[in-house]
Chains A and B, each alone.
Chain A
Amino acid sequence: MAQPGAVDIGQLSLEQLNSLKQEHESTIQDLSSKHEAMRASELRLKESRKALEALKDAEGQRMLVPLTQSLYVPGEVKDSDQVLVDIGTGYYLEKSAQGATDLIDRRLDVVTKLEANVQTVVDQKQQNLETIIMMMQFKMQQIQARKEALDKQQTDTA
Chain B
Amino acid sequence: PGEGSRAAPQGAMAAADEDMAVYRKLHGDMQQLLQTKGTFAEQKKENELVKDEIDLAGEEAVVYKLIGPLLLKQDLDAVKENVDKRLEFIGGEMDKVDRQVAAKQDEQKKLADKIREQQQDMRAKAAEEARKVYQEQQGAS
Contact = CB atoms under 8 A, between A and B. Distances in A.
A91 B47 CA distance: 10
A107 interface: yes
Given A1-B27, A87-B49, A110-B49, A92 B54 contact: no
Given A1-B27, A84-B71, A94 B50 contact: no
B47 A94 contact: no
A91 B61 contact: no
Interface string B30-54: 1100000000000000110110011
A90 interface: yes
Contacts of B27: 1
Given A1-B27, A84-B71, A87-B54, A94 B49 contact: no
Contacts of B50: 87-89, 91
Interface residues of A, number: 18
A91 B49 contact: no
A92 B76 CA distance: 12
Contacts of A23: 31
Across the A-B interface, the 8 shortest Cβ-Cβ residue pairs: A94-B62, A92-B64, A87-B53, A90-B66, A88-B50, A88-B46, A87-B50, A89-B50
